[in-house]
Amino acid sequence: MDEIAIRPVRDAAELAAVGRLRYEVYVRELGRRPPGSDDAQGVQLEGEDALSTVYAAFDGDTPVACLRLTTMERLPPDSRWREFYGVDTFPVTEAQQAMLSRLVVRADHRASLLAPRLLAAAFSDFRGAGGEALFLRCAANMVPFYEVMGFRRYTSGNALTDAGFRLPMVMIAGDWAHLEAVKSPLIDAAQEFPPNVSLGDWFETRYPEHSRPASVRVLGKEEFLLSFAARLNDSGIPLLDDMDGDEKEFLFLAAAHRDAKAGEAVLRKGDRGSELFLILDGAVEVTESPRGQRRVLTTLGAGQLFGEAGFLMQAPRTADVMAIADTQLVVLDVDAFARLGDQHPGVALKVMRNLSRALCLRLYAHNAD
C-alpha cells in the first residue's frame, strides 16, 4: 500500500471524487441514504464537508477511502452534534473538541490498513493542534474495536435518521494511561505530544460506569488493525458463517424471536436459563455491579451473541444484560437446538463451530495480560 497516499483533499474536484466514493458505499452497496445523497450526480456530500478537514487515501488520483474531521467550534450553533455528544459537558473549549465521521473504505481495499491509517492521520493532526476530546458515533457491534483504539462510551445513544442507532464515543487524546491500558495502536502517536492527566481523571470521575477499559487488544497490532478494517461496512453475522440461504432459514425456523424495548432487562445475573441470544438489530449492554458500583463490561450490537454459558452448560447468568435500544433477538434454546440437530445435523454442526470460534476469541481476550 506504499503507493497509496493519505492526505487532506485539496480542491473541489477531489472532494467531489470523495462524494462519489461515499455514494458508492452508502447508497449502492449498503442501501443507506445519508443526508446529501444526490442520485443525479451519484455523490454524497454535506454542508459539514466545507467546515471540516476531509482526509482521503488516494490510489493515483482516485480516492479509495475517506474520513472527515470537524472541529466543534466550526459547527453552526444549532448543530445536532452539540447535543448528541454533550460537548458542553467536557471541561475543554470547543476548539479542543472535534468529531470524526464518514469513515468509508471501498470494498476492494477493506483487507488493507487504510482505515486505521486514516484514523492515525486525523488523530495526529488533531492532537498536534491542541485537541483534547475526539468524538465519533459508533454502531454497537463496532464498539469493542473502537474501545481498543482508545475511545470510550460515556452516555446513551439514539437512532439517527441516516444511520440507525448509534452510540457516542470519546477519546481523551492525552490520556496516555488509558491508551496504554487498552494497548491502543495510537499510543505511539499520542506520546508524541504532552499528556493531559487532569482530563483523564475528570472523565473517570464524571463517568465511573465507563472508567475502566471494557476491551483490551489481545491480537498483535497488525492483526487487530486488519480485523478492525474488515469489520467496517460489514453486515455479516459470524454465527451464520459458511451457511447458505436454506441453512440460515432452517436455523431461524428452529429458533424463537423476541423484541426488547430500550431499557428492558433481557437477562439478570444469577438467573437460570438455557437460551442463546443473537442480536439481529439494536444493542444491549452487559454490566456488573460489584460493591454496588455499576460497571459496563461490554456493548453488543447486530450480529453478536450473548448467553453462551447458559446455552452450553445451563449455568446461572454471570452478568446483567439490558437493551439500550429497541432490539430484535433470535433466541435458540437447547431443546430447539436438539431438534435442529435431528432434522438438519449439518446446520447444527456449523452453529457449534461458529459458536466455538466466538468463545475462543472471548477466552483469549479474558486471559490476555
pLDDT of residue 160: 66
Q: Where in the chain is the domain with CATH 3.40.630.30?
A: 4-231
* CATH 2.60.120.10 holds for 238-366: yes
341 or 237, greater pLDDT: 341
133 or 230, greater pLDDT: 133
Which architecture characterizes domain 4-231 according to CATH?
A: 3-Layer(aba) Sandwich (3.40)
**Does residue 147 have a pLDDT over 80?**
yes
C-alpha cell at 345: 445435523
What does residue 165 show for φ and ψ, rounded to 5 degrees? -70, 130
Write out pLDDT tens, residues 149-187: 999 999 988 876 567 789 999 999 999 999 999 999 999
Q: Where in the chain is the domain with CATH 2.60.120.10?
A: 238-366
- How much is the pTM? 0.85
DSSP assignment string, 90-109: SSS-GGGEEEEEEEEE-GGG
Question: Which residues pair with residue 168 across a beta bridge?
Answer: 137
The 3 state secondary structure assigned to 134-188 is EEEEECHHHHHHHHHHCCEECCCCEEECCCEEEEEEEEECCCHHHHHHCCCCCHH
Mean pLDDT, rounded, for 193-221:
88
Mean pLDDT, rounded, for 262-272:
92
Rounded to whole angstroms, the Cα distance separating 230 from 109 reads 9
Rounded to whole angstroms, the Cα distance separating 351 from 346 reads 9
Contact 137, 168 (CB under 8 A): yes
CA 324 to chain centre: 15
Rounded to whole angstroms, the Cα distance separating 114 from 66 reads 9
pLDDT of residue 1: 44
DSSP annotation of 50 reads G
Mean pLDDT, rounded, for 265-269:
93
